[in-house]
Amino acid sequence: MKVSINGATTTQWDIQAVADSLPVEQGTTYYYSVWAKAQKSGAQVNFTVGYYSTGEIQAIRPATLTTEWKKFTMQLTVNDNQSYIRAPIHFSYTANTNNVVYIDNLQIIDENFGKTPVIAEAESGTVGSGFSVLQSDDITFVTANTNHEGLTSPGDSSRVITYNVTFQDSGYYNLFARLRVGSGTFNDDSFFYAKGFGEKNDTASTDWVFINGLANVGFSDSAHVVDGMGTAGSQIWKWVNLTNNSYSGSPVDSFYVSLDSLTKTFQIGSREDGLDIDKLAFGKSNLYFTVNALDNELPGSLTPEIPDSSNFYQGPQLAEGLPKFLGNVKDIYDNNFANYWNQLTPGNEGKWGSVANTSDTSTWNWSALNALYNYSREHNLIYKHHTLIWGAQQPSWISGLDSTAQYNYIETWIRMVGERYPEIDMVDVVNEPLAGHNPPDGLNGRANYKKALGGSGATGWDWVIKSFELARQYLPDAELLLNDYGIINDNSSTYLYLQIINLLKDRNLIDGIGVQGHRFEFESASTTTLKYNLDRLAATGLPVYISEMDLGNYNDSGTPHDATQLQLYQKIFPVLWQHPGVQGITLWGYIEGQMWQPTCYLVHTDGTWRPALDWLAQYIKENPTGTEEVVNTIPSEFKLEQNFPNPFNPTTNISYSVAAPIMVTLKVYDVLGREIKTLVNNLQSPGNYTITFDARGLSSGVYFYRLSAGDFNVSKKLMLLK
């Protein structure tokens, strides 16, 4: 607005411009802002806000203008039961005579202006014929009619939905989606969204972001912040933050909206059927939004809202001080984790696809992984990195490179992990390598860099061997593990797994064996088969670790059933925990709403425990293991054996004999005689015992262990070599 002042009176409002009849809400705080300048410096104006009945409530009087644009601001809160305000600007100052004043972009906005998410119901756009609009209960959603797995773009306009989205404010926005992955899990979890605003070419892959791997990510609990990848599972409605996380795609930068163009065109495209989409949301990229905020279009916050955890368990850890760990996968905002568990595994945050959104290594996002690693160090938890090499959830750009470039990036990824996290205790070097599982072979949407690592080669597993060679080079102090699913419940899979393990063992490349323990592996498994295959793996001399364990309803279907979960834990867990070859168990989630298998949670959102966890805690207390009577005959004398293996890294077994009921202690000391760890301190019956000593966290060197049982006191030397 241009105001020319040719003369002035003694009443400043004799010349004024008024923003009139502005509706307001009682008790709300508003922010006033306006830009102004003058043709000649020294002009003066009054910026005011007031009620019709009771007069002025806030003012800048006078505001002195220069020839440069300047922003003037003030804050006001509406009271006195007023429904409307007015905002006059007064110009009648003598100093303004024969001058020109310019006014621009006057805004009076409430404190939450621009902070609420902009919601687009999935069915509200122009829906292509390749989608169906369906309804379940009170939710209307869209789903693809046919499966188009293998495409890198929608491929046809019928498989595109186009939206016109109007924003309240300018700025950078993140994209969210509320969706549900079907019963096909990883075969029902991909779609496309457009790179930026505007209509796209439906056959040009460069115009689209390919989103995959949604089956085990996202957030469903109302209090959780939708920021990281999350761990919510399939067949539930959940929110995902598409901009901040790659989900196997290459996300576009935050979406930018300018003041002169607040209405934008946006598109999505179908890929796999079985994926239901309820709504899309755009939220300011500098704000954090909870599930509740996105569900109810509430303002985001400048800092993440941490759920109240005062009613959660406060410790001690369920396996505190025991020779075997009981760990879990950690959600980034879970501040109670260390009260329950003494080993930490990152979920999606440690996967290459979560870090490397682009091929520019300087832009790789390590922030979430940093937080989890630092938490493990601060709370003295065993940290297992998951994972270095896998066919799923890998950078989308890696498969398009030649083998030489792929190898260089793989080596860079492993090197950077080793450099950034030098105190990694354990690492899943290769995850799910067996054929038909998830090797990086390019099949079924997987990453395609197996050839870059040597392919099958002469051994059939050269690519796995090369992966471990790189891990040994760049993570020399970490315990290197292989990890896969469907192993100990299947004799044939165990046989194939042992082939890889022995190839690695012959080359001194593997330090431990990981076997996943998901519901679908164990719920119908024979305990005889489980023990038999654990025996086969333990015969290698390598420690065995149960990873990714979860139990709940059969088939993870229906309302969570406490009795079923309890029965499964009582059936399966003792077989694993009591096996002398098993040195630790990692559960795969524990809080309601954070599980990729929704019925498998152990703790309700209010902190209360399900019966399975009550039983589990008591069972571990009564069966601390690490000690196991291995011979039924009663020894004729007390005896302490030399540990085996020796030297060792990081675990070794110590065997001893007890000839009569007596109080037994077994302790480890350093060369200065300082006590390092108590392994046994209880009354024991006659028998032969073996305990595993875990020396993670100790420095290389000579240590002594001492067995005391009445008058029997014997010490022996052991050597830790890292």
CATH superfamily of 2-110: Galactose-binding domain-like (2.60.120.260)
Q: Please list the alpha-helical segments (H only) found in 313-383.
A: 337-340, 352-355, 367-378
Q: What is the mean pLDDT of residues 570-596?
A: 93
Give which of 368, 437, 355 is closest to 397, Cα–Cα. Answer: 355
The confidence score (pLDDT) of residue 427 equals 98
Kindly give the residue spans of alpha helices, DSSP state H, lying in 129-225.
none
Does the active-site annotation cover 432?
yes
Residue 248 has pLDDT above 60, yes or no: no
CA pair distance 454, 449, nearest whole angstrom? 9
pLDDT of the residue at 631: 41
Q: What is the pLDDT of residue 635?
A: 84
Nearest to 667 by CA among 676, 656, 655, 654: 676
Identity of residue 439: P
A 10 A CB-CB count for 161 gives 25
Reported confidence tier of residue 231, pLDDT bands at 50, 70, 90: confident
User: What residues does CATH 3.20.20.80 cover in the chain?
Assistant: 325-622
* 217 class by beta-carbon count within 10 Å (0-12 exposed, 13-18 middle, 19+ buried): buried
Q: What is the pLDDT of residue 249?
A: 56
pLDDT for the residue numbered 174: 94
- Give CATH 2.60.40.1930 domain extents, the chain: 628-720
Sorted by sequence, the CB contacts under 8 Å of residue 244 that are 6+ apart come out as: 174, 227, 228, 251
Which of 349, 432, 479, 521 is the catalytic position?
Answer: 432
Those residues whose C-beta lies under 8 Å from the C-beta of residue 225, and which sit 6 or more positions away, are 219, 288, 289, 290, 304, 305, 333
Which residue among the candidates 123, 272, 548, 592 is catalytic per the annotation? 548
Residue 178 CA neighbour count, 13 Å, CB half: 28
CA 71/CA 34 separation, integer angstroms:
6
User: SS3 for 545-602, per residue?
Assistant: EEEEECCCCHHHCCCCCHHHHHHHHHHHHHHHHCCCCEEEEEECCCECCCCCCHHHCC
* 145-159 pLDDT tens trace: 998 877 889 999 999
Question: Residue 485 pLDDT more than 90?
Answer: yes
Predicted pLDDT of residue 629: 44
Residues 194-214 have pLDDT tens digits of: 999 999 999 998 899 888 888
* Least confidently predicted of 58-67, 90-99, 222-231, 583-592: 222-231
What is the model's pLDDT at position 253? 60
- The fold of the 118-296 domain, in CATH, is Jelly Rolls (2.60.120)
Bridge partners of residue 496, in order along the sequence: none
Q: Is the pLDDT of residue 625 over 90?
A: no
Confidence bin at 412 (pLDDT 50/70/90): very high
Domain with CATH 2.60.120.260 in the chain: 2-110, 118-296
What pLDDT, in 10s, does the model give residues 272-309? 999 999 999 999 999 999 999 999 999 999 988 776 77
Instruction: State the Cα–Cα distance between residues 182 and 187, nearest whole angstrom.
Output: 8
**Residue 703 reports pLDDT greater than 90:** yes
The CATH code that applies to domain 325-622 is: 3.20.20.80
CB atoms < 10 A from the CB of 513, how many?
30
- What pLDDT sits at residue 332? 82
Rounded alpha-carbon distances, angstroms, from residue 288 to 48, 221, 307:
34, 15, 13
Helix axis angle for 611-622 and 562-577, nearest 10°, is 20
At 633, the pLDDT band (50, 70, 90 cuts) reads low
Average the pLDDT over 314-327 and give the result. Answer: 94
Region 566-572 average pLDDT: 95
Q: What percentage of the chain reaches a pLDDT higher than 70? A: 97
Q: Is 121 annotated as catalytic?
A: no
CA-to-CA distance for 720 and 96, rounded, in angstroms? 86
pTM above 0.95, yes or no: no
CB 163 within 8 A of CB 219: no
Beta bridge partners of 603: 591, 609
* pLDDT tens string 639-674: 999 888 888 888 888 989 999 889 999 999 999 999
Percent of the chain scoring above 90 in pLDDT? 73
What pLDDT is recorded for position 627? 47
Strands 582-587, 628-631: pairing is unpaired
Neighbours of 340 (CB within 10 A): 26
Give the Cβ contact number of residue 52 at 10 Å.
12
> Under DSSP, is residue 288 helix (H, G, I), strand (E, B) or coil?
strand
Name the residue type at position 679.
Answer: L
Kindly state the average pLDDT of the residues 47-68: 92
Q: 254: buried, middle or exposed (CB in 10 Å: 19+, 13-18, 0-12)?
A: middle
The structure tokens listed for 620 are: 């571990």
Q: Looking at the domain that runs over 628-720, which CATH code has it been given?
A: 2.60.40.1930
Q: What pLDDT score does 148 carry?
A: 85
CA angle 231, 235, 239 (to 5 degrees): 50
* pLDDT average, residue stretch 167-185: 93
pLDDT at 251: 54
Q: How far is CA 486 from CA 351, 492, 583, 636, in A?
A: 21, 10, 19, 44
**pLDDT tens across 111-125, in order?**
889 999 999 999 999
